[in-house]
């Protein structure tokens, strides 16, 4: 779900669902949809609640209630009554947005049209074709393929003669390979993939859904040791040599400790990074916990606080050096020696390994990947064929050819004017009882024209004609979605209401709380006792490698050396000797702060995790109110809640609403 709509959903305390009724939006082009048959209230369906003059039937409320409370029971009176209050608040907000004519603004219309295009996509493809593609992709995920390739670049809109020239070039390369030429040497000499100079065209192991579809298909259909025929992708022509096919290695769950190094760092930085990772490795071998070392030293801040834990990954998801080392670990709990990758140094620990998930578990993920993949065009092509068949598609090929023949060079030059087609308009095809003419096609050509060299206007028009037909078919099908699919109709109304709700609430609550600094300060002044610091310590925590380092640190403190001077002195031989952290700490902020006596001065040593820690308590801070800037996030959130409640009370006073208690009671009567 879109982030904006998700926010709208969360703030109401309930999901937007099929209870939404079509509203009077005469000026909102995207929202003018015919009421789907299943949305029409039954004659005997009693009105449960009337909100701002809009009746809501019992069945409508039940549908949304049980959809969003799937564990609710029919006699749960409190849950139903609480939900009714949320329902009323939500509908009142939408009513206010409509009263302010927010549903007729161009911004609303444009946004809803954008969401409609997104929501329509799953309906504008052939599901049977997609299901077959999902199964094919899953089957391919069971194997990893190692292959090399040679690429001769040619763009998709290249002139036929240039396409043929590229094809002839790659066929000559293939002939030499078949006669025994070395593939890696030919890749370095001839391939137009820049990486081939380094890797000889070797792509390593990959699995399904990691390569463009034509390339993937050719790789999986080529036997080890063989070389494919030229394969055309959007990048050009490829020759593929398969080196190996193995059962999929599956997925692995790992943690890592990382010391970051960039390729352009000076040698001194690189040497220090290497020294540090091997010091950490020695600590690990001596028995210190991987998770603790990751928290203390890893430069991957996104994972360090979680003990270095990474998401699950499979073949082709990590840089080769990392992937190879991780999958080489033989059992859970094993860890590698320091491994260097382009990102720095890593120590990798295996947490768990598994095979490819079941088809049912993997299905939705594959489906989403396919929707973003070129293979989704196969489903669209099948859909277009069905639309043509269902809607009596009939072509007038002679009229089409006559029009294309009459075109001058302006289309190729990018200066085509569709008005030339007004002189002689003819029908070129019929779909769904509607005639599409040469002028319609001319408008399409004018809209999509670009200056092209070396290709005739006739060739461009012939190519664009198929796109024009496809565009008309898809547009026709899209216009029928509300009528054909009640759930789509409901979803569009939900999104429309969600946009209105978000925009109005942003204006009345969210942005207002941020921009209204005077109101926020007044709210804080009245409620500052709700935002209190407890008793705190102003303290410095010294984490030392061992007791000897701790002793040296204490001596330097007594000599009134600064913390930076202490760190510089003690970390001269190793950057891991001492770590110093100062701040103001409450109970629960730090385990060592919780363990020491809260008295000014130096604490006793605490031995833990093969380290020695002590704390210097500078002062004990009495409880006091937090400053506005110290708790701005929490205070702003509370102010937003205050504005929300105030606004709801105003709406409840402004608009009428009435619940039919007799009907409501039937919902929770056993």
**Whole-number pLDDT of residue 14:** 41
Helix (H) or strand (E) holding 230: none
Distance from chain centroid for Cα 126: 25
Structure tokens at 430: 């019929």
The percentage of residues in the chain with a pLDDT greater than 90, rounded to a whole number, is: 73
pLDDT in tens, 365-407: 998 888 888 888 888 889 999 999 999 999 999 999 999 999 9
**Whole-number pLDDT of residue 17:** 37
CA torsion 213→218→221→222, rounded to 10°?
-150
Architecture of domain 257-354: Roll (3.10)
Helix (H, G, I), strand (E, B) or coil at 391: coil
- Write the CB contacts of 84 (distance below 8 Å, at least 6 apart in sequence): 49, 61, 659, 664
By CB atoms closer than 10 A (0-12, 13-18, 19+), residue 273 is buried
Q: Compute and round to an integer the Cα radius of gyration of the chain.
A: 34
**C-beta separation of 150 from 187 below 8 A:** yes
**How far is it, in rounded angstroms, from Cα 69 to Cα 634?**
29
- Give mean pLDDT, residues 94-116: 93
**C-beta separation of 150 from 239 below 8 A:** yes
- Tokens 């991987």 correspond to what residue? 290
Candidates 97, 87, 111, 107; CA nearest to 17 is: 87
**Whole-number pLDDT of residue 370:** 86
CA end-to-end span of the chain: 36
Give me the phi and psi of 437, to 5 degrees please.
-110, 175
Tell me where in the chain the CATH 3.10.50.40 domain(s) lie: 143-247, 257-354
Instruction: Report the mean per-residue pLDDT for the chain.
Output: 89
pLDDT in tens, 9-60: 444 444 333 323 323 333 333 333 333 334 444 457 899 999 999 999 998 8
Hey, what CATH topology would domain 532-625 get? Chitinase A; domain 3 (3.10.50)
**If you classify domain 143-247 with CATH, what class do you get?**
alpha beta
**Whole-number pLDDT of residue 24:** 31
- Write the CB contacts of 444 (distance below 8 Å, at least 6 apart in sequence): 464, 467, 468, 471
**How far is it, in rounded angstroms, from Cα 125 to Cα 189?**
43
**How far is it, in rounded angstroms, from Cα 11 to Cα 499?**
13
Residue 73's pLDDT band, with cuts at 50, 70 and 90, is low
- Write the CB contacts of 21 (distance below 8 Å, at least 6 apart in sequence): 39, 54, 56, 60, 493
């Amino acid at each position: 779900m879109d982030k904006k709509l998700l926010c709208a959903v969360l703030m109401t305390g309930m999901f937007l669902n099929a209870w939404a009724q079509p509203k009077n939006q005469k000026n909102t082009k995207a929202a003018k949809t015919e009421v789907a048959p299943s949305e029409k209230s039954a004659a005997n369906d009693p009105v449960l609640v009337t909100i701002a003059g809009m009746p809501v039937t019992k069945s409508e409320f039940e549908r949304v209630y049980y959809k969003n409370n799937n564990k609710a029971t029919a006699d749960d009176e409190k849950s139903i009554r609480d939900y009714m209050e949320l329902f009323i608040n939500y509908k009142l907000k939408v009513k206010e947005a409509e009263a302010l004519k927010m549903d007729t603004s161009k911004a609303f219309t444009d946004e809803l049209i954008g969401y409609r295009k997104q929501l329509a996509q799953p309906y504008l493809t052939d599901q049977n074709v997609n299901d077959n593609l999902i199964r094919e992709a899953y089957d391919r995920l069971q194997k990893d393929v190692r292959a090399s390739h040679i690429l001769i670049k040619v763009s998709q809109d290249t002139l036929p003669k240039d396409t043929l020239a590229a094809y002839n070039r790659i066929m000559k390369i293939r002939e030499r390979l078949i006669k025994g030429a070395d593939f890696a040497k030919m890749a370095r000499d001839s391939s137009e993939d820049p990486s081939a100079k380094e890797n000889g065209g070797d792509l390593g192991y990959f699995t399904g859904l990691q390569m463009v579809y034509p390339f993937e298909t050719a790789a999986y259909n080529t036997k080890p040791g063989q070389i494919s025929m030229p394969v055309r992708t959007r990048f050009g022509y490829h020759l593929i040599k398969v080196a190996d096919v193995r059962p999929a290695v599956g997925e692995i769950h790992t943690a890592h400790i990382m010391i970051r190094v960039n390729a352009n760092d000076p040698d001194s930085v690189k040497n220090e990074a290497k020294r540090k990772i091997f010091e950490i490795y020695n600590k690990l071998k001596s028995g210190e916990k991987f998770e603790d070392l990751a928290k203390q030293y890893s430069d991957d801040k996104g994972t360090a606080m979680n003990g270095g834990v990474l998401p699950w990954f499979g073949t082709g998801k990590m840089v080769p050096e990392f992937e190879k080392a991780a999958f080489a670990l033989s059992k859970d709990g094993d860890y590698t020696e320091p491994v260097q990758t382009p990102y720095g140094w890593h120590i990798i620990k295996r947490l768990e390994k598994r095979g490819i998930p079941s088809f049912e578990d993997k299905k939705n993920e594959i489906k989403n990947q396919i929707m973003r993949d070129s293979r989704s065009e196969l489903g669209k092509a099948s859909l277009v064929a069905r639309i043509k068949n269902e809607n009596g598609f009939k072509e007038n090929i002679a009229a089409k050819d006559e029009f294309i023949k009459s075109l001058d060079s302006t289309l190729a030059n990018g200066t085509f004017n569709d008005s030339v087609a007004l002189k002689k308009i003819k029908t070129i095809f019929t779909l769904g009882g509607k005639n599409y003419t040469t002028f319609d096609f001319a408008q399409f050509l004018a809209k999509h024209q670009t200056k092209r060299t070396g290709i005739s206007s006739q060739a461009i028009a012939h190519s664009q004609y198929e796109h024009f037909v496809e565009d008309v078919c898809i547009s026709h099908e899209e216009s029928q979605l509300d009528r054909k699919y009640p759930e789509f109709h409901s979803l569009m109304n939900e999104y429309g209401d969600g946009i209105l709700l978000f925009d109005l609430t942003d204006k009345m609550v969210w942005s207002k709380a941020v921009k209204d600094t005077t109101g926020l300060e007044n709210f804080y002044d009245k409620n500052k006792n709700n935002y209190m610091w407890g008793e705190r310590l102003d303290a410095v925590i010294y984490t030392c490698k061992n007791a000897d380092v701790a002793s040296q640190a204490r001596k330097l403190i007594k000599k009134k050396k600064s913390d930076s001077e202490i760190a510089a002195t003690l970390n001269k031989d190793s950057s891991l000797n001492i770590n110093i952290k100062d701040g103001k700490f409450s109970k629960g902020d730090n385990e060592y702060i919780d363990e020491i006596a809260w008295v000014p001065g130096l604490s006793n040593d605490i031995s833990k995790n093969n380290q020695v820690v002590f704390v210097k308590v500078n002062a004990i801070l009495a409880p006091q109110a937090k400053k506005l800037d110290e708790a701005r996030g929490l205070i702003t959130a509370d102010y937003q809640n205050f504005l929300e409640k105030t606004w709801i009370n105003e709406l409840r006073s402004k608009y009428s609403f009435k619940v039919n208690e007799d009907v409501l009671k039937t919902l929770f009567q056993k």
